[in-house]
Chains A and B, each alone.
Chain A
Amino acid sequence: AQSVSQHNHHVILSEAASLELGCNYSYGGTVNLFWYVQYPGQHLQLLLKYFSGDPLVKGIKGFEAEFIKSKFSFNLRKPSVQWSDTAEYFCAVNSPSSYKLIFGSGTRLLVRP
């Protein structure tokens, strides 16, 4: 069965620090990969997605993620975080033949001003 692991449950950074959130998945076939963000009191929003092609994907608000197939990883990065990036971040995966998203447990990011 597919599963997604996010090893960092809580991350605290100061503004301007660099961010990298880990995401590993288990699935033997082709996958679609996603990062969603949930700001306090707001809906889940898509940050970025990977279906195929260039493994380095750029998303909104300066976020990017790199798909490394050999490591089954899809880590999220941002060179310089802002206080407004405080949120919970979810990695998700589905197979091209499935319509259900499998989510990781989420990482709560707190950015201190």
Chain B
Amino acid sequence: KAGVTQTPRYLIKTRGQQVTLSCSPISGHRSVSWYQQTPGQGLQFLFEYFSETQRNKGNFPGRFSGRQFSNSRSEMNVSTLELGDSALYLCASRTGVVTDTQYFGPGTRLTVL
């Protein structure tokens, strides 16, 4: 079974731009979560989607948004990029039950110049 895939793997943007990251979950998984990983703040939860609905949201500004499509694929958007948004953005999927294991993708490395 294919794992979680994320595209693109690397991205370079400049301040003020916006960016969209994509995540394809494992087949059959209906829940997708997004995390930001930085050296200073570690791994922080952004949001989680299940059946196209946001179920949980972390403490990030409104510039960070997401959505999920009917095929469970998810996108994350960051508008008005700031230097501090440079990070590895990880996507994780699971079937949807809270006791299920989350499987992580390889991440998208975003660099904001």
Chain A positions near chain B (C-beta within 8 angstroms): 32, 36, 42-46, 49, 51, 90, 92, 94, 96-106
Among candidates B4, B33, B104, B107, residue contacting A100 with C-beta atoms closer than 8 Å: B33
Q: Does the CB pair B99–A51 fall under 8 Å?
A: yes
Q: Does the CB pair A101–B102 fall under 8 Å?
A: yes
> What distance in Å separates the Cβ of A7 from its nearest Cβ neighbour in chain B?
14
Write out the residue numbers on chain B whose beta carbons fall within 8 Å of the beta carbon of A49: 101
> What distance in Å separates the Cβ of A22 from its nearest Cβ neighbour in chain B?
16
Closest to B3 in A: A43
Render B82-96 as a binary contact track against A, CB cut-off 8 A, 1 for contact. 000000001010000
Q: Does the CB pair A103–B43 fall under 8 Å?
A: yes
Write out the residue numbers on chain B whose beta carbons fall within 8 Å of the beta carbon of A92: 43
Closest to B42 in A: A105
- B98 interfacial by beta-carbon distance below 8 Å: yes
In the complex, what distance in Å separates the CA atom of A42 from the CA atom of B56?
27
Write out the residue numbers on chain A whose beta carbons fall within 8 Å of the beta carbon of B4: 43
Render B21-64 as a binary contact track against A, CB cut-off 8 A, 1 for contact. 00000000001010100000011110010100001101000000
- B66 interfacial by beta-carbon distance below 8 Å: no
Q: Does the CB pair A100–B58 fall under 8 Å?
A: yes
Q: A43-B106, A104-B42 are in contact. List 19 more A-B contacts (CB 8 A).
A: A43-B105, A45-B104, A46-B101, A92-B43, A94-B98, A97-B98, A98-B56, A99-B33, A99-B50, A99-B55, A99-B56, A99-B98, A100-B56, A101-B35, A101-B43, A101-B45, A105-B42, A106-B42, A106-B43
Between A and B, 7 residue pairs with Cβ closer than 8 Å are: A32-B99, A43-B3, A46-B102, A51-B99, A99-B48, A103-B35, A103-B44
